[in-house]
Amino acid sequence: MTRPWVDGAVDGGAAAGVVAVFWAWPALGAGAWPTVAAGAVLAGMTAGAMVLRRRAPFGATLAAGAATVAGTVLGVCQDPMLAAAWCLYPLAIERARRTRVVAGVLAGVFAGLAMVTAVPEGDAAGPGRQVVFAVAALSVSWLLGTVTGRQLATAREAERMRVQLEVARDVHDVVGHALGVVIAQSGVVLGLPDAREEELRETLSEVEEHARRALEDVQGLVRTLRAPDGGPAPGRDGLAEVVEATRAAGVDVDARVDAGGAVGGRVGAVAFRIVQEALSNVVRHAPGAWCTVRVRREGDVLVVRVRDGGARRPVGRAPGAGSGSGLRGMRERARLVGGTVAWGARPGGGFEVEARLPVGGAP
């Protein structure tokens, strides 16, 4: 996206060029001062329309077209609708999504015919030449604007889908982990028929803490959406909290983090989310399991490996099979920084997730 002052300078330069080439000399040669004055007014009207074309493309196109026609009739203009075509371009971009294919085809046909049609003999500088050039200029401007508009609309839609997918991944990871831990802790307490009041209060306190933290994370996501610099991205520093929350849910976690130096913000955030989702899956699908978390650097690659030994105890309710959104989210996140993720059941029981993220793959 260009800066506004650059757009204004380009439009101003184009307006000055059109007035100087197609209006100045014909108006000065008109002779009678009323005609010269009328030409000056129409030329100013054309220049103003060209400068304001981005703010009011429809009105600017009509003004430039009407001024050009009037100037041509008075003999003070030789513009073959280039000013109107200049103003028509942003209008075509704006109306691109509502333009039917038939209109585009007709514009293409008119442009092609105008370009290949010969100017009538003896009319090399007359109205026939101007009509041919005018049709070509307007048709080409409309075609180019329509194509550009559709490309911009496609790019905006792709960006909207990208943001939507990224938000869905973040919400799934944050809320899924918190609810998984809450459900696991509640299931542990429900499985104790003689639970004391102190144990119940402690568990409820931990559940409240996890729920509050999840709410804060979701609020952070919302702030990030409203302002891209709304807060720091999660990284390796948050792994300790995730590990402690998983331990509180009854999973024996052995975590070792040795990145061997600085890791880029995006890579660190991806590593954090992968560990978070992998531990959430352990809590949901392998209650009571032992689990190891290893984050280490191998050359220019950050290796993240989460391995569990399989479920050791049942929970109050059997966990669902899951939609696989978390695993797909891991793979999508890794691809964003040029990494890969693999997962699968271990021969001796349990499950393993391994991600390989290039340290220099993202800032």
pLDDT in tens, 120-136: 555 445 566 677 777 77
For residues 317-330, one letter each, b for 16 or more C-beta atoms within 10 angstroms of the residue's C-beta and e for the rest, the string is eebeeeeeebbebb
Any idea which of 66-80, 98-112, 283-297 has the lowest mean pLDDT?
98-112
Q: Tell me the pTM.
A: 0.55
Q: In this predicted structure, what is the pLDDT of residue 102? A: 47
Average pLDDT over residues 191-210: 69
SS3 228: coil
Q: How far apart are CA 237 and CA 75, in angstroms?
A: 75
* Residue bearing the bigger pLDDT, 41 or 258: 41
Phi, psi of 355 (to 5 degrees): -120, 140
At residue 317, the pLDDT reads: 45
* pLDDT computed for residue 81 by the predictor: 85
Choose the weakest-confidence range: 115-129, 197-211, 241-255, 333-347: 115-129
Instruction: Give the pairing type, strands 301-308 and 340-345.
Output: unpaired
Share of the chain above pLDDT 70, in %: 67
Res 269 pLDDT > 80? yes
Report how far residue 333's alpha carbon sits from residue 327's, in angstroms, rounded to the nearest whole number.
10
CB atoms closer than 10 angstroms to residue 248: 19
Lowest-confidence range among 56-65, 137-146, 196-205, 245-254?
196-205
Query: Average pLDDT for residues 45-54, to the nearest whole number?
Result: 92
